[in-house]
Structure 1
Amino acid sequence: MDVLSDVMTVLRTGRPFAARFAKAGPWSDRRIGRPDGFGVQVVVRGTAVAATEAGETFTLGPGDVLLVPHGAPHLVADSLDTPPGPPCTPDHVFPGTVLRSDDPDATHVLLCMAYELAPNRTHPLIASLPDFIHVPANPAERPELANAIAMLDTELASELRGGDTLVTALLDAVLMYLLRALLGPRTAECRFAGWAAALGDRSVATALEAIHAEPARQWTVASLGEAAGLSRSAFSRRFTELVGQPPLAYLTSWRLTLAARLLADTDAPLAAVARRVGYASEFAFAAAFKRDFGTPPGQFRKQAPACDPAAEPFRREPVPV
């Protein structure tokens, strides 16, 4: 699995939330903050406006996307002159829920998606993104994103058999196409600084791919630098500058993130988990895990909810009115 897919798959927990809202103006929705949520909103029909608590506004036309990587509170409405409606609180959004709505006479249609991210385990990629990102529609430049959005809209408007499985796959496709649009190809210029920019640096991206491909390998700064085609010192300096952590610190953090997922998702013995993430002994693994997560791995396993998306089927719910 490539590094971007790896990061999103491991950090996401459970099924995402998906909804299609068909509305007739005037309307206004207040979205309450959800710190562990990664939100995506797409305008399919009509023109909407989004406003943040800091006073920033975004005008969203058909095909435009608003990403909310950190679950920040905001308002979405047909117009800023429309009085805000009741807040849509996190308690009203259930992972694994899909809300379907279709009204051919609606003036506005919006798709809303939300991913639950592993709490207290923000990856540097997510941390490097701003609270709000407006991705204007550009079907000519990004036809695959436009096609994925159109297919998702069709599935959320229908009740056809197999739709729940397709919704999950299409949500992931939309998210990946959006991240590609933001981060660009591996060797392209990135719109953001920090870890996101590391994917635009050929040498550092190569090292990240190597770590994610073989997390249990006994990597050293020298061997990672060799894979990246740089001297040890030049590699360490560039990696730390872009990723925000020294190479071996990132390696340790990623190993323990993988271990947490294995503990939550599998019944593998602790010794087996330790070996799979690169620790020679269960004792060394347990000490590192407790130091990073604040709890021993055995106790973490008892307390952690399962992260396997396949364990939670979508629940069909009526659209709130």
Structure 2
Amino acid sequence: MFLPSGAEHALADRIDAELAAACEPGQVTDNGAVEVPASSDHAPGEKTVTLCGAYELDLRFIHPLLAQLPPVVILQAPFDRGDPLRDAVELLGMELDRPGPGTDHFIAALLDMLFILILRACHDERVLPDQTRSWVAAIQDTGIRSALDAFHDAPGHPWTVTELARRSAMSRTAFARRFHELIGKPPMTYVTWWRMNLANALLTDTDQSMHAIAQRVGYSSEYAFAHAFRRERGIAPGAARRTSARDRLPDSARRSRVGVTA
């Protein structure tokens, strides 16, 4: 089960089952487990183990691909071995059960891989309601993908719609129309949105100066960068950095959280 927007949910073996106390993936013991009291109708000796992982995401600035997914995605795990998604889940479970040197970094890497495999499965099973107008369609469109790749590789370049259209081998008008249809935003609106998300990540996860960050995301002055950042995210860059410093999770838990419920 994949919850792109963190929807509240419950797991049960039948619809009228008594629910046990809720738990969060971050509330785990040293071995990564959370013991949940069994319900009164749970047979003695029976045990259900669930593997849970979570990312810390700011849902106000969610990626278009995640925004287009339904709130709850159910993916059926194949029974045969050799399926990458099943193998990744099993490997994650084994690492949690028998941790070793570097486990924290290993689990973070496994979660990244698992996340990509889940998105691939969503694509293969056509979970998106209309894949003719979606992020998936955008990256499958040769022209739009070429423009996106060029921009993502060099977000600090002074991009214009004309230059992005040239990268896509399309006319300016055709490119702007196609981009808006697939991405859901005009090209330069997307450029600004992506740059500010990148800037926010640099503000919260690095010690780079405001000047360096401004140049990294395509602004020649700190003033122009600060104005754009405030307009896009509703807060000044310095305030965003200070807020993040107060709320930051420990390094081992900042990127992702994972736990086992038994």
Indicate the TM-score class for this superposition, using the shorter chain for normalisation.
Answer: 0.7 to 0.9
Residue 93 of structure 1: aligned partner: 26
Q: 1:124 to 1:201 in 2, by over 3 A?
A: same
Alignment of 1:26-45 (within 5 A): none
Distance 2:167 2:245 in 1: 37
Of 263, 283, 308, which residue of structure 1 is paired with 2:203? 263
The answer to whether 1:76 aligns with 2:11 is yes
Higher helix share: 2
* Same amino acid, percent of matched pairs: 37
1:277 matched to 2:212? The reply is: no
Q: Would the aligned equivalents of 2:156 and 2:219 in 1 still touch at CA under 8 Å?
A: yes
SS at match of 1:312: helix
SS of corresponding position for 1:120: helix
Alpha-carbon spacing, 1:198–1:307, altered in 2? closer, same or farther (3 Å):
farther
Cα deviation for residue 267 of structure 1 reads 2.2
Give CA-to-partner distance per residue, 1:65-90, whole Å, 9 cap, x none: x11111111221122232122233x5
Q: In structure 2, do the counterparts of structure 1 residues 75 and 124 end up closer, same or farther at CA, with 3 Å as the change threshold? A: same
Taking structure 1 as the reference length, the TM-score comes to 0.67
Aligned counterparts of 1:95 and 1:259: Cα–Cα separation in 2: 32
Corresponding residue number in structure 2 for 1:28: none
Shift of 1:320: 6.8
Check if 1:129 corresponds to 2:69: yes
**Cα distance, 1:260 vs structure 2:** 1.0
Matches of residues 1-321 of structure 1 in structure 2 within 5 Å? Answer: 66-88=1-23, 93=26, 99-100=32-33, 107-138=47-78, 143-183=83-123, 191-193=128-130, 194-305=134-245, 311-312=251-252
Q: Distance in 2 between matches of 1:209 and 1:81?
A: 49
Give 5+ residue unaligned stretches, structure 2. Answer: 36-44
Which protein, 1 or 2, shows the higher relative CO under an 8 Å CA cutoff with sep ≥ 6? 2
Distance 1:77 1:139 in 2: 21
Q: How large is the Cα RMSD of the aligned pairs? A: 3.4
| CA separation of 1:140 and 1:81: change in aligned 2, threshold 3 A | same
Deviations, residues 226-267 of structure 1 (Å, cap 9, x unaligned): 212221111111110111100111001111111111111222
- Residue 124 of structure 1 aligns to which amino acid in structure 2? P
State the aligned residue count.
Answer: 248
Structure 1 residues 134 and 292, CA gap change in structure 2 (3 angstroms): same
Quickly say closer, same or farther: Cα 1:288–1:318, change in 2 above 3 A.
closer
The question of whether the paired residues in 2 share the 8 Å contact of 1:271 and 1:281 is answered with yes
User: What is the one-letter code of the residue matched to 1:219?
Assistant: W
Q: Give the match's secondary structure for 1:132.
A: coil
Q: Which moved more, 1:255-264 or 1:111-120?
A: 111-120
Indicate conservation of the 8 Å contact 2:122/2:128, yes or no. yes
